[in-house]
Amino acid sequence: MLKVERIQVFYDAIQALKGLSFTVAQGEIVTLLGANGAGKSTTLKTISGLLQPRGGQIELDGKPLAGSAPHEIVRLGVAHVPEGRRIFPRLTVLENLKIGAYTRHGAAIGDDIERVFALFPRLKERARQSAGTLSGGEQQMLAIGRGLMACPRLLLLDEPSMGLAPILVEQIFAIILQINREGVTILLVEQNAAMALAVCHRGYVLETGTIILEGKASELAGNDRVRQAYLGG
Amino acid sequence: MALSLDIFLQVLMDGIVLGFMYALIALGYTMVYGVLEFINFAHSEIFVLGAFVGVEILLALESSGTLAALNPAFVVLMIILAGMIVSGLAAVALERTAYRPLRGAPRLVPLISAIGASFFLQDFIRLVESVWHNSFYLSYPTLSLLDRSVRLGAMVEVPFKSILVIATALAMLAGLYLFVNKTRLGTAIRAVAQDPDAAALMGIPVNRIISLTFFVGGAMGGVAGVLFGLHYSLVNPYTGFVPGLKAFTAAVLGGIGNIPGAVLGGLVLGLMEAFAASYLGILTDGAFGAEYKDVFAFVILILILIFRPKGLLGEKVREEGV
Ligand SMILES: Nc1ncnc2c1ncn2[C@@H]1O[C@H](COP(=O)(O)OP(=O)(O)OP(=O)(O)O)[C@@H](O)[C@H]1O
Ligand SMILES: [Mg+2]
């Protein structure tokens, strides 16, 4: 479904991605692991069009994405839940969800809002409140709910468990499994490697802008290097 | 006699009219600041353009002899609409040519471009009008309808002109409120103002929303220009400077980037100015006359900003992502 080929991405003169390649097949959950600053968020931003690669290319369903603007990529069925929530603080919770469905029209939007409320009842209670007044964890739920509102075929999640209480982390990963079962392909970036490896099918390990390791979830979980660096020994 | 109620009410009315005029212009500054964090200093010329569109249509109707035959209410509505559309489109073109190519440049660069665009537009209007009419000082033909007035009680006489300004401004503000707060496009404008990258990730075409914002802000300025012409009659290419500066001040006073703030700031400034003009002389026994009204208004402004640096309704304009 998604094929990333030798992409090179720069911030001015700093090269953040040094010829990165990986694939995500239809229906998979694939995780990207890596230390702080390895280039995980940069990878997602490049897929969603916020950054343009200087070299290499990205294909979605066999078609190159080169030069497409972020809003066009959303229309192709790719939703990106960015790192740090990035909800619209002065829109209400409900407005945030509606704007998540900006590319869609019709009555199904109302049903999907109810679906998000069913996943996150907290959001329903606070539907008319401005999103900036939510707690950090609630904002994270809103960011994920907003991403789902686009009805994506491919969902890019950047640290969805960040700042959440352990019970909520479990809940978020349960939701990730559930939406994957409903047919959504997922590319997951996580600091919580144990959880990520528990839900994903395959994974890649990034280090300073390149892939150093790849494999099935079980293989990675059994790999000494991964265990030492990301699973706490 | 000096502080009689009828004078007070008259001054109040003048202040409200002026205030709504400033409010309409201020919206253009504040909306553009909201999405781009940049002051469009050429907005005062977008306002003047509206005034010239109005006067040109009226002069054309007058010289063809149709002005007297047409329903004056229809004529007024038509020139307001024309001013809106032309100013709105001009603002969009301005953004495309003078600002968009400079996106991402250091902040001072588009600002200088805006000042350049402002001079350009002033002299462009001057050139066109000079060629066309041999003069760039034009005055609105009188519309008999607007020269009438209504009495409110025994005290105040309200000219139709003032009613027109207030009613039109209220209608525009109500329309803008509904548009920005209740429609999908309006929500998109607010989303882009709060976080353009996140807005793009929602599938919002950010550049098109920025164009739309310039159109709406420019259209408000155009309406203000037509109303200004209808109310004060005389216009020239440089007419926009002072009202533009005051409206910008109003936007800052209300909290730049904040739409209700622009309206509040406009009204506060208009009222302060009207009352200062009428009462400074009386209250200071002639030591300060009406000519000090702007000084007085700006002193109040400075005081408000010392105690509320973000403006009356201001808040942090854009939250940074973590
Ligand atoms: N806007 C930017 N300007 C300059 N350099 C940047 C910018 N954003 C990221 N970088 C650099 O690019 C590299 C990769 O950053 P990225 O955000 O992709 O890391 P990450 O893997 O997501 O890290 P984390 O786990 O901390 O979120 C880092 O060295 C970072 O300093
Ligand atoms: Mg990151």
Distance CA A54, CA A68 (A): 14
Count of structural domains within chain B: 1
pLDDT cut 70: percent of chain A above it: 100
Whether B178 is covered by a domain: the verdict is yes
Residue closest via CA to ligand 1's atom 26 equals: A36
Residue range B125-147: average pLDDT? 90
pLDDT above 70 for B317? no
User: What pTM does this model have?
Assistant: 0.92
Which pLDDT does position A95 carry in this prediction? 97
Whether B319 is covered by a domain: the verdict is no
- Looking at the domain covering A2-77+152-230, what would its CATH class be? alpha beta
Ligand 1 binding pocket, CB closer than 6 Å: A 11, 14, 16, 34, 36-42, 83
Residue A58: pLDDT band by 50, 70, 90 thresholds? very high
Task: Give, for ligand 1, the residue of A11, A31, A44 to mutate: max count of ligand atoms closer than 8 Å to Cβ.
Answer: A11
Residue range B28-56: average pLDDT? 95
Which pLDDT does position B4 carry in this prediction? 81
* Mutation choice for A interface testing from B201, B204, B208, B319 by most A CBs within 10 A: B201
Residue B322: pLDDT band by 50, 70, 90 thresholds? very low
Which pLDDT does position B216 carry in this prediction? 97
Buried b (16+ CB within 10 A) or exposed e, A132-149: bebeebbbbbbbbbbbbb
Structure tokens at A222: 């059994």
The gap from C-alpha B3 to its chain's centroid, in whole angstroms, comes to 31
> A37 alpha carbon to ligand 1 midpoint, in Å?
5
Residue closest via CA to ligand 1's atom 27 equals: A36
Distances (CA, A) of A123 to A118, A119, A146, A215, B322: 9, 9, 11, 37, 21
CB contact under 8 A, B201 and A48: yes
* Host domain of residue B40: 5-307
pLDDT cut 90: percent of chain B above it: 70
Q: Name the closest ligand to CA A46.
A: 1
Ranges A98-102, B95-99, B303-307: which has the least confidence = B303-307
Q: What is the mean pLDDT of chain A?
A: 94
Residue range B266-281: average pLDDT? 89
Residue range B278-296: average pLDDT? 80
pLDDT (tens digit, 9 = 90+) per residue, B176-188? 999 999 999 999 9
Task: Let me know how long chain A is.
Answer: 233
- CA-nearest residue of chain A to B321? A86
Burial class (CB in 10 A: 0-12, 13-18, 19+), A42: buried
Q: Rounded to the nearest 10 degrees, how much is the dihedral formed by the CA atoms of B167, B169, B170, B172? A: 120
CB contact under 8 A, A82 and B198: yes
Task: Give, for ligand 1, the residue of A42, A85, A205, A211 to mutate: max count of ligand atoms closer than 8 Å to Cβ.
Answer: A42
Which pLDDT does position A116 carry in this prediction? 95
Domains of chain A by residue range: 2-77+152-230, 88-151
Tell me which chain B residues have a C-beta less than 8 angstroms from the C-beta of A132. Answer: 319
Q: What is the ipTM of this complex?
A: 0.94
pLDDT cut 90: percent of chain A above it: 88
Ranges B43-52, B188-197, B297-306: which has the least confidence = B297-306
CATH number at residue B74: 1.10.3470
Ranges A29-43, B59-73, B163-177: which has the least confidence = B59-73
Residue closest via CA to ligand 1's atom 24 equals: A36
Whether B153 is covered by a domain: the verdict is yes
Which pLDDT does position B249 carry in this prediction? 92
